[in-house]
A and B are shown apart, each in its own frame.
Chain A
Amino acid sequence: MTVAQETTALKFECETGNYHTFCPISCVAWLYQKIEDSFFLVIGTKTCGYFLQNAMGVMIFAEPRYAMAELEEGDIAAKLNDYDELKRLCLQIKRDRNPSVIVWIGTCTTEIIKMDLEGLAPKLEAEIGIPIVVARANGLDYAFTQGEDTVLAAMAVRCPTGAQVKEEDQGDRNSIQKLLNFGRKKEEVKQEDSEYVEHPPLVLFGSLPDPVVTNLTLELKKQGVKVSGWLPAKRYTELPVIEEGNYVCGVNPFLSRTATTLMRRRKCKLIGAPFPIGPDGTRAWLEKICSVFGIEPGGLAEREAQIWENLEDYLQLIRGKSVFFMGDNLLEISLARFLVRCGMTVPEIGIPYMDKRYQKAELELLEKTCNEMGVALPKIVEKPDNYNQIQRIKELQPDLVITGMAHANPLEARGISTKWSVEFTFAQIHGFTNSRDILELVTRPLRRNNSLKGLGWEKLVKEEAKV
């Protein structure tokens, strides 16, 4: 047997796909908050509704701008007319909420009964006068965060061109720019434009909380890069202008369809960069964008070093420890890359779906990071099998398992520390500033362990129950 065999390239495996993750319709929970004038209508069954109600917890109580169009037996058997039914519900939504856009989320059931949502939408849109965007975020095809991808891909098609915007009154467009300009006069704005380097328009895609949007926009501004818009914007009416030949760049690893749509249908150029997660990722992301525009980035090395210095107390907790990703939200590669840089080892990265083209730069950075840190390259397991993974976890006894809530408590009861993976999708983890928040999450179980040390009750199941 060869000891510590040096692997030179990342290993990819694919298992059975028997793993736990959230249904992609969960994206409505954060997207309806992000897009303030939207209404999300999930066309599905009680099963979908019960999932949203339970998995999204208290959010359901805040008079959400989303609802179920609950299919009944008559809909399934086509005794009722889909168009009339949807029209009735959408008119009710229009009357009660008056949104600027209604997003229809297609589910497994609409797929199976082949309800032609894409065909019905334009007709109904014309009839009721509200844009209807169709996203098929179903569990037959996608996992968890990929739901956002399907919605943004559908929105990308709706982004206006410059000519369309000129036609309307320019009004409320480009909220980012407005935010930065903040009611200053035109001359001042023009003067400020000189702070930017001359470059083709850049649109960023991926839904992030507003403070993170401002933060990343300002990071680019420091390098003289102007962000002409974000997909999505705060309001549907503020979707960014996208022209042929514009540059686009993703901020999240699960946006492959959106990237493809922007390239193929809107003829944009995609900047393939690692994602701005962790100080290393943020720096690489900024550098890649700068390099595309021929800008020499300034001050990034110092900035990154400063951030790492501020993280030292947390780094001390995790250095040399191992982390196992069971895989359920597609952030895994970026997080693993950051944690390797933090000094952790990663035996396995589970991931629902691996787009090697869209994540190319991120994968390269992961490989490079592992080599520089002198640790073994992780095994990347696509469509993992949770049962097999738990056998491997038992064998490896990692210091931390990043996993869904279905496995967290049972693993904890067996003395294995866990971190609930979904928190990474809801916490602010992008940019230099939020690096601390990622480590705050990662170290929380380890800090808990330190506080409870010496109590002698790590394993709390009687006999080793069969998994």
Chain B
Amino acid sequence: MKLAYWMYAGPAHIGTLRIASSFKNVHAIMHAPLGDDYFNVMRSMLERERDFTPVTASIVDRNVLARGSQEKVVDNIVRKDKEETPDLIVLTPTCTSSILQEDLENFVSRAQLESRCDVLLADVNHYRVNELQASDRTLEQIVKFYLNQARKQETLAAGKTEKPSVNIIGTSTLGFHNQHDCIELQRLMGDLGIEVNEVIPEGALVTNLKNLPRAWFNLVPYREVGLMAANYLKEEFGTPYVDITPMGVVETARCIRKIQDCLNEQGANVDYEAYINNQTLYVSQAAWFSRSIDCQNLTGKKAVVFGDNTHAAAMTKILAREMGIHVVLAGTYCKYDGDWFKEQVSEYCDEVLISEDNGEIGDAIARIEPAAIFGTQMERHVGKRLNIPCGVIAAPIHIQNFPIGYKPFLGYEGTNQIADLVYNSFTLGMEDHLLEIFGGHDTKEVIHKGISADSDLSWTKEAQGELKKIPGFVRGKVKRNTEKFARDRNLNEITIEVMYAAKEAVGA
């Protein structure tokens, strides 16, 4: 047992559901007790989804515990097949159902006989993998399933596309700025004259997966999701993949050069150097920003970075290599892939921290006292307590990290967004200097002009006590309204009863 207050990566089934509900016309059925379907709440709230999340639960209750699911799971699959006519139903075990050890595989094969759609059992172990690993695995599983099916039915797309083309693998629902990143990557491919063959899983149809082998190469922008599928495609079809995250100016260039190599090996004969040069110098503002006076003021300032592998590693490199910021500590919660992280960031920071314990990161931040933090929502909160600004760069995230405006982290527009994020996170350089010179902010007491400032009314002890219980941010309003109410009625003492009467009268 482990005492835990907070976790960075969710349970395995969340990963499976993220993949399943990213595809179009795929339905997931969770084998789960009542209340485990909060994935729908997360998706509906965070992504502000207009459509119903295609996830339902086949409820595990007391009866199931006593007698087994029997026909229930099969019935639910068949019913969903009729109601929604999906292409695929993914039966998703949860931590609860996995210890029941029912033969879900058997339910799936029975349901397959009666339903028109395909039925799959997500193959993840809840006690061994987390959300990110499970999503990687589920994506591979679905890709494998449809390619095998196509092979059997002899519908597998043969040969490569005429022009160079790419599959973008790994953008999914509830991923950090994934939708914006996806648009930015498609633009980048357009600029490079590369056709986008398929984007999976976000917005893809499983019936199109048979086209995956037609691409010249696969692009896997995130370390956490998509590598397994890309590896599978490489083994089966020899499709090479590029797994350099195009985040930051230097890494974007590196990614494009790798793509260039990939294509030239297949005889495309492309040269992207002029494009990279033009983008770096004149289109992206980030290179210029790092030369500007603003950024000079950031030189040597201390920062702490923490997040998932992709974003924490890329951010560390950007801060250290492109902005001259001193990254004291870089960390990741992707413990299962910690070696990769160490290898990526070791030369760009003083310390590396690989941990899933938010207390450990909080303590490290308190010890280091950086000028800014780049982390998850948890680190943002640590920053608030320690009065250190924080830019959010990775999940777990809140609704404010699903902006409506266009805010990619990848590609050349991404470099601009990151420059803004970094610059706004540090206290503005000039302001900082002035504060030091003039000894801090003006601290004179704010003069109150509210009605309550010179109150002639007396509050009884009880009423004062009651007032104190009202949350701070509305207390002033309640006090003013109550006093106004009392004054209007010529009462000069405020009791609890007066408070309630005021509330009833004016809704204070």
Contact = CB atoms under 8 A, between A and B. Distances in A.
Contacts, number: 194
B96 A465 contact: no
B100 A55 contact: no
A132 to B, nearest CB: 15
Interface stretch (B33-41, B262-270, B363-371): B33-41
B96 to A, nearest CB: 4
B1 A86 contact: yes
Contact of B3 (A50, A60, A69, A433): A69
A80 B497 contact: no
Interface in B47-64: 48-53, 56-62
Interface residues of B, number: 67
A398 interface: no
B475 to A, nearest CB: 12
Given A47-B94, A71-B1, A111-B65, A55 B44 contact: no
A17 B41 contact: no
A69 B1 contact: yes
Interface stretch (A18-26, A164-172, A267-275, A334-342): A18-26
A147 B381 CA distance: 29
A13 interface: no
B151 interface: no
A46 to B, nearest CB: 4
A60 B46 CA distance: 17
Interface string A448-467: 00000000000011000111
Contacts of B10: 46, 50
Given A67-B3, A466-B84, A461 B35 contact: no
Interface in A185-211: 210-211
Contact of B61 (A85, A140, A182): A140
Contacts of B353: none
Interface residues of A, number: 81
Given A46-B95, A409-B50, A55 B56 contact: no
A141 B38 CA distance: 17
Contacts of B507: 436, 440
Interface stretch (B281-289, B461-469, B483-491): B461-469
Interface string A23-39: 11100000000000000
Interface string A125-143: 0000000000000111111
Contact of A113 (B35, B99, B126): B99
Interface string B70-103: 0000001000000111000000001110011000
Given A68-B3, A218-B497, A410-B44, A307 B504 contact: yes
A358 interface: no
A465 B51 contact: yes
Nearest to A89: B3
Contacts of A71: 1
A392 B142 CA distance: 34
Contacts of A89: 1, 3
A23 B34 contact: yes
Contact of B1 (A75, A143, A307): A75
Interface in A75-114: 75-76, 80, 85-86, 88-89, 92-93, 108-109, 111-113
A32 B290 CA distance: 49
Contact of B36 (A85, A139, A179): A139
Contact of B96 (A112, A407, A436, A460): A112
B96 A182 contact: no
A23 B35 contact: yes
A244 interface: no
B281 to A, nearest CB: 42
B503 interface: yes
B13 A47 contact: yes
Given A182-B461, A409-B44, A18 B11 contact: no
A67 B505 CA distance: 42
A144 B38 CA distance: 12
Interface of B: 1-7, 10-11, 13-14, 32-38, 40-42, 44-45, 48-53, 56-62, 65, 76, 83-85, 94-96, 99-100, 126-128, 130, 378, 381, 396, 398, 461-462, 465-466, 469-470, 496-497, 500, 503-505, 507
Closest 10 CB pairs of A and B: A23-B35, A139-B33, A406-B40, A413-B50, A46-B11, A73-B127, A85-B1, A139-B35, A45-B95, A139-B34
14 contacts: A46-B11, A47-B94, A50-B7, A60-B6, A68-B3, A75-B1, A139-B35, A140-B60, A182-B462, A210-B469, A405-B45, A408-B44, A410-B44, A466-B84
